[in-house]
Amino acid sequence: MANTHLFEGRVTKSGNVLVTYNGKPLPVCAEHYNASPDGFMWGYDDSGVSQLAYAIMHKFGTIGNVVNPVLFAEETYLAFRRKIISKIPTNLSWVMSLESVAEWGKNGVLSISDSQPVQVVVTPQIT
């Protein structure tokens, strides 16, 4: 997978949380998993963080041609939330490549490991 597949997150001046995949809004996937009526967030461990982790894992499963992206997301989002999404500083924008997420995997199955961290690039919010 090329590095052109990017997830990006930022909080606007008005406090709205924007998460995109390749420049388009990342679907919340509430029809499959509805943890947060308020949408996405990162930087701590709550329902918005769970929703973001689920949506990224679902997108990863869809792009990676996983047979059942819903089941894949259900089985992987908790570890992804705990090890990656909850640790991104809340006050920073971030970029994460699909390739970086894929590096965790072996043979098309995501295996989250401390020895293979996902690279997340964070930047200060522009005010």
What average pLDDT does range 52-62 have in this prediction?
Answer: 93
| CA atoms within 13 A of residue 35's CA, in its CB half-sphere | 19
> In total, how many domains does the chain have?
1
Whole-number Å distance between alpha carbons of 89 and 10: 11
Higher-pLDDT residue of 26 and 106 is 26
Higher-pLDDT residue of 23 and 1 is 23
What average pLDDT does range 82-90 have in this prediction?
Answer: 86
1: in domain:
no
67: in domain:
yes
79: in domain:
yes
Is residue 39 within 8 Å of residue 29, measured between CB atoms?
no
Could you please report the per-residue DSSP string of 40-58? ---SSSSHHHHHHHHHHHH
113: in domain:
yes
> Domain range spanning residue 66?
6-124
End-to-end CA distance of the chain: 33
